[in-house]
């Protein structure tokens, strides 16, 4: 009888040790996912910034007197064909990043605050570029 109790105790200790290992592994996987989400978010900011810069170059294309109308049109279409999808992907990554890292940073309000900040910066940048091209 005592031998059975010893085996039971040993099995319970083994089970507890394995449970701790599993919890540690799940914690590590969770941290890895959080790091990946933050990386995607930051990458999205970079992509959106690069796309905005490419769109900004449209003004210099149209101001360049050395280019013919056809060349300007071709460069504009090429520029937009590359920059608009990049902008869309960047904004999508930003929004998804905010959704995924917001709860990890302390709640929904943090995510919404970050989204508002990023959106405000993008709108301000867009308005600045628009104003430059009008002048």
- Identify whether 70 is part of a domain: no
> Is residue 130 predicted with pLDDT exceeding 80?
no
- Identify whether 97 is part of a domain: yes
Provide long-range contacts, Cβ within 8 A and 24+ apart, for 66-74.
none
**Average pLDDT estimate for 75-90:** 88
Nearest to 90 by CA among 63, 61, 119: 119
- Identify whether 72 is part of a domain: no
> Is residue 110 predicted with pLDDT exceeding 60?
no
- Identify whether 58 is part of a domain: no
d(CA 95, CA 122): 13
- Identify whether 69 is part of a domain: no
**Whole-prediction pTM:** 0.56
d(CA 60, CA 54): 10
- Identify whether 128 is part of a domain: yes
**Other CB atoms within 10 A of residue 107 CB:** 11
Mean pLDDT over each residue of the chain, to the nearest integer = 78
- Identify whether 105 is part of a domain: yes
**Which domain does 113 fall in, by range?**
2-47+87-134
- Identify whether 109 is part of a domain: yes
pLDDT in tens, 4-32: 888 878 888 888 887 887 877 777 766 77
Number of domains in the chain: 1
**Other CB atoms within 10 A of residue 103 CB:** 12
């Amino acid at each position: 009888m005592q031998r059975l109790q010893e085996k039971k105790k040993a099995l319970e200790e083994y089970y507890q040790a394995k449970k701790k290992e599993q919890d540690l592994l799940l914690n590590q996987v969770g941290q890895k996912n959080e790091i990946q989400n933050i990386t995607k978010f930051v990458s999205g900011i970079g992509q959106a910034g690069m796309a905005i810069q490419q769109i900004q170059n449209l003004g210099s294309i149209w101001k360049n007197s050395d280019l013919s109308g056809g060349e300007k049109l071709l460069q504009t279409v090429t520029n937009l064909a590359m920059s608009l999808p990049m902008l869309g992907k960047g904004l999508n990554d930003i929004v998804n990043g905010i959704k995924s890292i917001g709860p990890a940073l302390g709640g929904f309000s943090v995510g919404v605050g970050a989204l508002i900040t990023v959106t405000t910066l993008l709108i301000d940048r867009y308005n600045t570029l628009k104003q430059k091209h009008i002048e």
